[in-house]
A and B are shown apart, each in its own frame.
Chain A
Amino acid sequence: MAARLLRLYIAGNSASSRRAQQNLERLRESIGAHGWDVEIIDVLDRPELAESARIIATPTLSYEDSVRTRRIVGDLSDTVRVLEFLGIDQEDEA
């Protein structure tokens, strides 16, 4: 099975950007890192990527899926909701 891709869009070194990165890191540890690729995109450095993805707010976590790309906006502190969004049942994966 191909690795699933998560993209986190952040803006520089702001407090919310840092929090989102930390929360995502914690999530990866809890679900096991295998099978997930994570790409972090700073929209201040790569505005063209943000524009083509139509990012209008950060932090945004985007689950790149060939069928349907899904996004959430916020600092990802609500772990349960984020996992639910990713479609991961924590019991199964663990």
Chain B
Amino acid sequence: MTETDIGSNIKQSDIRFLIEKNADGIIVVDEGGLVLFANPAAERLFGQPADALIGSPIGLPIVVGDMSEIAIHQPGGGLVDAEIRTVETSWNGQPARLASIRDVSERRAMEDRMRHAAKMEAVGRLTAGIAHDFNNLLTVVLGNLEAARRRTARDNGALTVMLDNAIRGAQQAVQLTSKLLAFARRKPLEFRRVDLSELIAGMTDLLQRTLGESIAVRTEVPPELWPVEVDPTELESTILNLAVNARDAMPDGGELTIATENIDLTRDESDEADGEERPHVKISVADTGTGMAPEVLSHVFEPFFTTKPDGRGTGLGLSQIYGFVKQSGGYVRLASELNVGTRVDIFLPKAIMRPDQALPGVERSSEFEAVPRARDGETILTVEDDEDVRATTVRSLRELGYTVLEAADAAAALQLLNSEVRIQLLFTDLGLPGQINGKMLADRARALRPELKALITTAYAGDILIREGRLDPEIELLSKPFTFASLGTRIRGLLDGGVRHPGRVLLVEDEFLLHLLVTDMLAEAGFAVDVATNFKEASAKAGSGIENMVAAIIDLGLPDRPGDELVTELRALYPELPIVLATGYADEDVRKRFSVARGVQLLTKPFRSDELMAALTRAGVRTSLAGRTGALPDPG
């Protein structure tokens, strides 16, 4: 059957229907360039009814190859990007051209956003590279300056002043590289569950003082705001940064509004990979200032772009915010109008309930005058390939009183670790020459010596450390460049602290509220928790293997099968596994059976956190809280 045959079988009214319902605009133009026909879609595209379009001198559409791009000018100034395709035809016996026109404005805008995102990505990589090298140099500069300063501590003369100035300069350079890394999404972030209303309420005083009296600060924070998981320090600096920008945009005063809102479903349209819409919390910082023109707006996230007069801004504020929010899994939207104001919307993903993330925060880099020192005989193995950085670090550690061993690469370090030498802590650079990087070295070292503490230092958090944009919770990290004080404090903290991540606990409990409660208790003690609500689920989880499982807590009354049978099954898989069997009504029979089994402890409901920890300890688990509450391992 040929095309003509098909055509002849279709009724005239059907063809009319198809043309009128076509999503693309269809027009017919005569050889003189006048419009002869326009379908409803074309009416919408041109913003004119067909009777106005017919007779318009649009001109003869000449398209080479597939299609041509044109802009359609609607009455009133509207501009529509369109693609046009043409075929030659005849209309009332005269030669004519049929043009099909498709609106591509939306697609074009999307492509622009993608291009912008790709550019930011490229600039980010470049920035990260520079900042990384720079940080290594700064480690050497700052370390030596601080050492020199300590030696002249009692001298109040000119030398001290000069050294103090040099240290200040170096510290400012550290802040600058830290901003660059933030933009490049390479800054090691300390994610924590944050209540935004609390955080913002805590900042209003500071904001009002920073902004001065001519600017009114208003906050609109609804109750019931979802929690988010961010680095609170970075978020505070983001809000402060935006507020300072707002102040500079309102030289004659005005109003700054900080508003928050739960957004049920949204996604970052400029990020193709960000597929699904998810719940976010929106933080808006809006001013009533001078606003920005569109051409300025399209550049504001680029590093070193600033409209502030020379010296007033680094051009890194918004870049830093962009990077920080992206690294936190969110995105930023900007809206601005000249002489009306600017609004920055930050979208942060709603925190997912994950009990193992609710760990107590990492200790802050200390600003104490007295830096904690070594105890007798404590030995640290320092691994660093850069000789200058190593020399600086070693000197600082020796000054703190530690015995220090050095290695320039992982092989040399492993040789030392394999020897008889006593070593309490491994302090290694992440980037090492050869096949083994700092993280792998730390893993191997711990396999050789389970008691060894490991601290990794890096100028930036590369992919090795970051899983899905956040720091691997197993890693203790000290960012380069570090000060004498932060080095001393972190090392002391690690040597004194118990195991920060004692391991995973399998919790089998069908009562929802109870499993929340116990999960909290365990998380507080530093455990990660795997939850199962019945026998079958627990058995499947245990069967497929739980990494680093140190204990199981089982409710005796499970919905599908008795909990004590699960004990038997778990014991078959993990013969040494400490188990706590929780029960509200254990009969004598069960008590008898399990009180004799080694490593199984009965715990009567209801129980307090210290009782749970004590039971775990009696079952053979090392816990950090048990010691504090005074519970001792049962000698029996």
Give the B-binding residues of A (Cβ under 8 A): 11, 14-17, 43, 47, 50, 54-62, 68-78, 81-82, 85
Q: Does B591 contact A (CB under 8 A)?
A: no
Smallest CB separation, A37 vs chain B (Å): 19
Question: Given A71-B60, A72-B62, A57–B71 Cβ distance below 8 Å?
Answer: yes
> Are A78 and B71 in contact (CB-based, < 8 A)?
no
* 4 A-B pairs closest in CB distance: A71-B59, A73-B59, A78-B64, A16-B69
Q: Does B73 contact A (CB under 8 A)?
A: yes
Interface size class of B (residues with CB under 8 A): 20 to 34
> Are B61 and A75 in contact (CB-based, < 8 A)?
no
Question: Given A70-B33, A76-B62, A55–B73 Cβ distance below 8 Å?
Answer: yes
Give the A-binding residues of B (Cβ under 8 A): 32-33, 46, 48, 53, 56-64, 68-73, 77, 79, 81-82, 84
Q: In the complex, what distance in Å separates the CA atom of A82 from the CA atom of B63?
A: 11
User: With a CB–CB cut-off of 8 A, which chain B residues contact A11?
Assistant: 71, 73, 79
> Are B69 and A72 in contact (CB-based, < 8 A)?
no
Question: Given A16-B68, A16-B71, A57-B72, A72–B57 Cβ distance below 8 Å?
Answer: no
Smallest CB separation, A40 vs chain B (Å): 15
User: With a CB–CB cut-off of 8 A, which chain A residues contact B57?
Assistant: 54, 69, 71
Partner of B73, one of A15, A43, A81: A43
Q: Which of B56, B57, B61, B77 has the most CB of A within 10 A?
A: B57
28 A-B pairs with CB atoms under 8 Å apart are A11-B73, A11-B79, A14-B69, A16-B68, A50-B73, A54-B57, A55-B73, A56-B46, A56-B58, A56-B73, A57-B71, A57-B73, A58-B70, A58-B71, A58-B73, A61-B59, A69-B57, A71-B59, A72-B61, A72-B62, A73-B33, A73-B59, A73-B61, A74-B61, A74-B63, A76-B62, A77-B68, A78-B62
User: With a CB–CB cut-off of 8 A, which chain B residues contact A57?
Assistant: 58-59, 70-73, 82
Closest B residue to A15 by beta carbon equals B69
Closest A residue to B79 by beta carbon equals A11
Smallest CB separation, A27 vs chain B (Å): 13
Closest A residue to B48 by beta carbon equals A56
Smallest CB separation, B203 vs chain A (Å): 43
Q: In the complex, what distance in Å separates the CA atom of A57 from the CA atom of B33?
A: 12
> Are B60 and A85 in contact (CB-based, < 8 A)?
yes
Smallest CB separation, A20 vs chain B (Å): 10
User: With a CB–CB cut-off of 8 A, which chain A residues contact B62?
Assistant: 72-74, 76, 78, 81-82, 85
Question: Given A11-B79, A70-B32, A70-B33, A75–B69 Cβ distance below 8 Å?
Answer: yes
Question: Given A47-B77, A55-B73, A74–B68 Cβ distance below 8 Å?
Answer: yes
User: With a CB–CB cut-off of 8 A, which chain B residues contact A74?
Assistant: 61-64, 68, 70, 84
Q: Which of A54, A58, A60, A62 has the most CB of B within 10 A?
A: A60
> Are B56 and A56 in contact (CB-based, < 8 A)?
yes
Q: In the complex, what distance in Å separates the CA atom of A60 from the CA atom of B68?
A: 12
Q: Which of B33, B57, B63, B70 has the most CB of A within 10 A?
A: B70
Closest B residue to A69 by beta carbon equals B57
> Are B72 and A56 in contact (CB-based, < 8 A)?
yes
Closest A residue to B69 by beta carbon equals A16
Smallest CB separation, A28 vs chain B (Å): 17
Q: In the complex, what distance in Å separates the CA atom of A43 from the CA atom of B78?
A: 12
Query: Known contacts A57-B71, A76-B62, A78-B62; can you find 6 more A-B pairs with CB under 8 A?
Result: A14-B81, A17-B71, A57-B72, A74-B70, A75-B68, A77-B64
Closest B residue to A68 by beta carbon equals B32
Smallest CB separation, B247 vs chain A (Å): 34
